[in-house]
Amino acid sequence: MQISSRFTIAIHVFACMEIFGEDYKITSDFLASSINVNPVIIRKILSQLRNAGLIEVARGTGGTTTTRSIDQITFYDVYLAVDLLEKGELFHFHENPNPNCPVGNNIHAVMDGKLACIQKAMEEEMKKYTIADVADDIKQCLAVTE
C-alpha cells in the first residue's frame, strides 16, 4: 500500500500558492519548476483539485487560487481530491483467495474490519492537519535561513 505522489505534489501546490501567490501568477509551469515535474502532471492534479472544489484555475496565464482559506483545507480534503480510492478503500485486497484453503476461506472475515479501522484512523489523523500548517512551517524555515 502506498499513497501516490499526487498527494504530496498537491500539498506542494498549495504551499506554493500561499508562499508565492502575492508576488507571482501561480501557473502550471511555475508550479512545475518548484516541484520539478512535467507541467502536464501539474495540470492533471490542478484539474483534480478544481473538480473537488478546492481551487479555481483561470484559463491561460490567469493563475490558480484557493476557494477557501488554507486553514480550512485539510490533508484529508487533498487526499480525497487526488488519491482516487477504488470503492473508497485504501487497501486493495487480493481478488480470489482459495475458498478450499482454511486461510483463504477466512482471510476476508479476519482482515476486512481491521483494515477498515486502520484506514479510518489514518483519515482521522489527516483531518488534523491543514495547508496552513504546512505554509506556516515553510515560513518558519524561510525565516531561519534569512
The three cell numbers of residue 85 are: 480510492
Rounded-to-integer distance, Cα 108 and Cα 21, Å: 48
Q: Where are the domains of the chain?
A: 5-145
> pLDDT tens digits for 24-81?
999 999 999 999 999 999 999 999 999 999 999 887 667 899 999 999 999 999 999 9
Using CA atoms, how far apart are residues 30 and 39, in angstroms rounded to an integer?
A: 9
**Residue 129, pLDDT score:** 98
pLDDT digits (tens, 9 = 90+) for 120-135: 999 999 999 999 999 9
Question: Which residue has better confidence, 134 or 96?
Answer: 134
Instruction: Tell if the pTM clears 0.75, that is, is over it.
Output: yes
Q: Which amino acid is at 123?
A: E
Give the count of beta carbons closer than 10 Å to the beta carbon of residue 100.
Answer: 7
The Cα–Cα gap between 27 and 39 comes to 9
Classified by CATH at the fold level, domain 5-145 comes out as: Arc Repressor Mutant, subunit A (1.10.10)
